[in-house]
A = this chain, B = another copy of it.
Amino acid sequence: MEQTFVKQTIALWEQSVKRVTDTFKGFSEEAFQADIAPGRNRPVYMLGHLVAVHDRMLPLLGLGARNWPELDAAFIRTPDRTVADIPSTADLLARFDQVNAQLAAKFAELTPAQWLEKHADVSAEDFAKEPHRNRFNVLLGRTSHIAYHQGQLVWAKK
């Protein structure tokens, strides 16, 4: 039965990834570079942000090394338009596909018991007290994280 809970949660993750990818792929270059609402982020920043956050999931879930730790400077540690030199939208889209495929392949290999193991940002001592700080919680949280930005991206002009 636990396999069903895991499979359905992964299915919502993949559906959320597909939906936001389709949204990004529907934008013109002009749309990618325009603030979604006055003074708010550009879609290209959100794309880079999601690439970086999903890339961080590889070591966080103990599934491998990061591909592009250098993206954090522009897309996680600083707000939009702070770092001028960022990859092209085509490059970021390709990276998003790549990291999501890497995650999907790894997710398929994990057993339900492995989903309940600790993630990398919690110590063994803290995990003993807070056993919900496991891989499954990261999966749930990052799925909601996509939805959060999806709600903003639907307000962008295409």
Contact = CB atoms under 8 A, between A and B. Distances in A.
Interface string A4-21: 111111011000100000
Instruction: Classify the interface of chain A: helix, strand, loop or mixed.
Output: helix
A149 B152 CA distance: 8
Chain A, interface residues (CB within 8 Å), range: 35 or more
Residue in A37, A113, A115 whose Cβ sees the most chain B Cβ within 10 Å? A37
Interface in A108-138: 112-113, 115-116, 131-132, 134, 136-137
Contact of A137 (B1, B6, B8, B37): B8
A151 interface: yes
Copies held by the complex: 2
Contacts of A143: 140, 144
Contacts of A116: 1, 4-5
Interface string A60-97: 00000000000000000000000000000000000000
Residue in A6, A112, A132, A144 whose Cβ sees the most chain B Cβ within 10 Å? A144
A2 interface: yes
